[in-house]
Amino acid sequence: MTDASTGRRRLAATLEAAGALDAQWRDAILAVPRHLFLPDVYWATTTEYVKVDRTSTPDGWMGYAYQDVPIVTQWDDGACTGEQVPTSSASMPTMVATMLRHLEVQPGGTVLEIGTGTGYNAGLLAHRLGGTNVVTVEVDPDVADQARKALAEADLHPQVITGDGAHGWPGDAPYDRVLATCSVIDIPQAWIAQTRPGGIIVTPVGTLFGGGALAKLTVGPDGTASGPFVGSSAFMLLRQQRYQAPPVDDYLPGEWPGDAGASLTSLDPEAIGDDWLAQFVIGLQLPDVYYRRTPNGDGWTWWLFDTGVTSWATVDSTPGDAEFDVRQSGPRRLWDEIETAYQWWTGAGRPGFERFGLTVDQDGGRPWLDRPGNPVRAR
């Protein structure tokens, strides 16, 4: 397929069939050419990363541009061109349409976007609201420059700022809406301060432990923001919130298992690793705990750490086993805490993303289940 207009029509039909496309955004999807915002070489994300080169496979390049798949456009903050850590992308179109629908923009409304990326999302906003009503902030100068060029080629003119998205953009505040196309662990206070009372913030939220969900928060007159999660999400973290874990030797200065106590568990950690929602719920309850996995025979060893560098644990997962070896060291028993958090969730009937929510004030975020008065806590 080399016909971009046909591609846009097919994409709109796909998004409508998925229930993601609000009728008010259909014209923007049909008008804004997604392929203009993609580099000549990119990686389409299907069940694996598929490298696509416009020169050698022009039909494939155009075809993926209008498929409902995310596309990686940068690796390792631009330090390499291979499949390492993806650091910039064109989001999956169903997620783009879903986020725009939840933003609930109104004619003449102003939007601050955090994370310009390719510029496609800013282009959709500018088509709907007009370029003067859209400000988009991108931390990477090269990515920002490429987005400016693509937007100009598409004859769309939002204001593109090269800067730290964690600080928003106070120069044009307050905004009616704030939209983040990167995930955050903590909602920056600047985003709330730069949103009008009654305004909406739509942002992916992740946890240090894993998992992620899309939050839709309404800003109150008292400077708080509160609202539900509206579904699953998986986005790259805001660069300023990437966690740099200490070396393992800071936890275990010697040979494993050190002074760790031994026990058994019937909960296979791989059951958590295979469940995006379970990771998210555990992360909400234990925001200072993270894990790593290392191969161990036919299975895996899970390494658990706290950010205070006080405690660690390991759990060995071997396929087919009914019980799994646990080692725990430090004042906290991290696996016990994780198991308790998991059991709380399963005991509550495994509530989904949409039953959880978040309230943010000057003291940070407080997740809740069903209503703000029912805070999520590790039992």
How high is the pLDDT of residue 65?
97
Tens-digit pLDDT profile for residues 277-309: 999 999 999 999 999 999 999 999 999 999 999
312-317 and 299-306 beta bridge pairing = antiparallel
- Check: CB of residue 206 under 8 Å from CB of residue 212: yes
The whole-angstrom separation of Cα 339 and Cα 267 is 7
Other Cβ atoms less than 10 A from the Cβ of 254: the count is 8
Q: What is the mean pLDDT of the segment spanning 98-104?
A: 98
Cα 233 off chain centre by? 6
- Check: CB of residue 25 under 8 Å from CB of residue 124: yes
Domains along the chain with CATH numbers: 4-181 (3.40.50.150), 248-347 (3.30.160.690)
The whole-angstrom separation of Cα 296 and Cα 293 is 9
Tens-digit pLDDT profile for residues 220-270: 999 999 999 999 999 999 999 999 999 999 999 899 999 999 999 999 999
Question: Can you give the C-alpha Rg of the chain in angstroms?
Answer: 22
pLDDT over 80 (residue 368)? yes
Packing angle of the helix pair 4-17, 58-65 (nearest 10 deg): 40
How high is the pLDDT of residue 286?
97
Residue 84 — pLDDT band, cuts 50, 70, 90? confident
Q: What is the mean pLDDT of the segment spanning 301-328?
A: 97
41-45 and 71-75 beta bridge pairing = antiparallel
Minimum mean pLDDT among 61-70, 72-81, 305-314: which range?
Answer: 72-81
Q: Which helix (H) or strand (E) holds 128?
A: helix 120-129
Considering the chain, what percentage of its residues have pLDDT values greater than 70? Answer: 98
Which two three-digit tokens encode residue 256? 């494993």
Q: Which helix (H) or strand (E) holds 200?
A: strand 195-206
pLDDT over 60 (residue 1)? no
Residue 379 — pLDDT band, cuts 50, 70, 90? very low
How high is the pLDDT of residue 320?
94
Please name the amino acid found at residue 188. P
List 88, 89, 91, 183, catalytic entry: 91
- Angle at the Cα of 212 (from 211 to 217), degrees rounded to 5? 150
Residue 81 — pLDDT band, cuts 50, 70, 90? confident
Q: Which residues pair with 112 in a beta bridge?
A: 135, 178
Which two three-digit tokens encode residue 187? 């909602």
- Sheet containing 299-306, strands listed edge to edge, beginning at the edge strand earlier in sequence: 261-265, 324-329, 312-317, 299-306, 289-296
- Check: CB of residue 160 under 8 Å from CB of residue 116: yes
Q: Which of 251, 255, 243 is nearest to 311 (CA)?
A: 251
CA dihedral 158, 162, 164, 168 (to 10 degrees): -20
Which two three-digit tokens encode residue 222? 């008292």
Tens-digit pLDDT profile for residues 114-160: 999 999 999 999 999 999 999 999 999 999 999 999 999 999 999 99
CA distances from 253 to 95, 106, 256, 288 (A): 44, 57, 9, 21
Q: What is the pTM of this model?
A: 0.95
Tens-digit pLDDT profile for residues 170-182: 999 999 999 999 9
CA dihedral 154, 15, 62, 70 (to 10 degrees): 90
pLDDT, the chain, mean:
96
pLDDT over 80 (residue 83)? no
Query: Is 91 among the residues known to form the active site?
Result: yes
